[in-house]
């Protein structure tokens, strides 16, 4: 998955993120001391976005803000950024919550996008964060 940038040359130079088509393949071949549930959830969201017709490098990207905060997925319709999506397995920790929401708001301001979404394992809420509305949904509702 390429990093979003309005300049094609910079987009092509940036490192790409790699996803796997099947989480079962990751689990069967990876050597992990502990489960990385957040990474597996992010991979699952990527596969679902592909299923919905998004194309990496055309309508689907990831993004890094000027302050190096990462947004997991940026969807685009035509030349307009449609939606910013963060994937976070569990947002109950205040530190995690602040990190994810601050990144979304920063990117929203840079990319002029108001549709902000966080996908979690089992949470649902609408958050008002720094004058932005952020929808939090669980993976089943996504």
Domain that holds residue 15: 8-138
Number of structural domains (the chain) is 1
pLDDT tens, position by position, 41-80 = 999 999 999 999 999 999 999 999 999 999 999 999 988 9
pLDDT at residue 33 above 80?
no
Domain-located, residue 16: yes
pLDDT tens, position by position, 106-141 = 999 999 999 999 999 999 999 999 999 999 999 999
Q: Model pTM?
A: 0.89
Domain-located, residue 1: no
The CATH number of residue 114's host domain is 3.40.1350
Domain-located, residue 3: no
DSSP string, 94-134: HHHHHHHHHHHHHHHHHHT---EEEEESS--EEEEETTEEE
HSE value, Cβ hemisphere, 13 Å, CA-based, for 35: 8
């Amino acid at each position: 998955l390429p990093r979003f940038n309005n300049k094609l040359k910079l987009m092509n130079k940036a490192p790409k993120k790699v996803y796997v088509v099947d989480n079962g393949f990751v689990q069967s071949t990876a050597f992990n001391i502990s489960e990385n549930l957040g990474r597996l959830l992010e991979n699952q969201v990527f596969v679902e976005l592909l299923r919905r017709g998004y194309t990496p490098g055309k309508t689907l990207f990831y993004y890094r803000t000027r302050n190096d905060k990462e947004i997991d997925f940026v969807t685009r319709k035509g030349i307009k950024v449609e939606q910013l999506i963060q994937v976070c397995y569990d947002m109950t920790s205040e530190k995690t919550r602040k990190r994810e929401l601050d990144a979304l708001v920063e990117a929203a301001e840079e990319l002029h996008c108001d549709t902000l979404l966080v996908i979690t394992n089992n949470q649902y809420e609408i958050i008002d964060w720094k004058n932005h509305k952020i929808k939090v949904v669980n993976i089943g509702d996504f």
